[in-house]
Amino acid sequence: MQPAIFLDRDGVIIENCPQYVRSWDDVIIFDQAITALASMSSSPYKLVIITNQSAVGRGIVPINVVEEINQRLVGLIETAGGRIDGVFTCPHAPEDACDCRKPKPGLLHLAAQVLSIDLGNSILIGDAISDLQAGQAAGVPTRILVKTGRGAEQYQLASNLNLEPYLVYDTLSDALTSIINR
């Protein structure tokens, strides 16, 4: 078993899109994210993207388009010298009440099972309270909120919630640098 760094996609690696990321044309990558992920290529952590994509469940974007976007993103990361060990997507709408939609821990449990991940020594990086809650529910001890995407706004809201302690960084690059320098 190996620890992982779980990464939310929208708001952490790419910008959130108010009307959903519907095609590759909607993808705007945070410049620092690709470089930061490339710096983790020799890391002992598995690098895993976990992403809610409710646009699929709402009938806005077909699942094959989401998968194509994910594949192209992983390709860019690999071209820059990085790696992604797995991508796990929840395609359900919130009202579907599935177990894989963050803040529930289903995607993390699935990734742990498929990739032999040690959740108890893993890290989760997200831009939303739901990311932190999913990590907490899955027993991931280090949870990080980045202020990109919705992160700055979510940080203000999080103070009113019953969340276990978590770390806050401005960007994915800052968060990954802190992990490397541990």
pLDDT, tens digit, 9 for 90 and up, residues 23-65: 999 999 998 999 999 999 999 999 999 999 999 999 999 999 9
- Known catalytic membership, residue 99: no
pLDDT at 156: 82
- Amino acid of residue 59: G
Give how far the C-alpha of residue 72 lies from the chain's centroid of Cα atoms, to the nearest Å.
Answer: 16
For the CA atoms of 150, 155, 161, 162, the dihedral, rounded to the nearest 10 degrees, stands at 110
Residues of the chain with pLDDT under 70: none
Enclosing domain of residue 152: 4-180
- Rounded CA-CA distance 167/163 in Å is 11
- Known catalytic membership, residue 131: no
Which of 10, 85, 127, 170 is labelled catalytic?
10
pTM over 0.85: yes
| CATH number of residue 168's parent domain | 3.40.50.1000
Which of 8, 25, 31, 118 is labelled catalytic?
8
pLDDT at 158: 77
pLDDT at 3: 97
Report CA torsion sign: 145, 114, 46, 18: negative
- Rounded CA-CA distance 57/96 in Å is 8
- Rounded CA-CA distance 34/102 in Å is 24
Query: In the chain, how many domains are there?
Result: 1
CA angle 167, 50, 25 (to 5 degrees): 110
pLDDT at 153: 87
Q: Provide Rg for the chain, Cα atoms.
A: 15
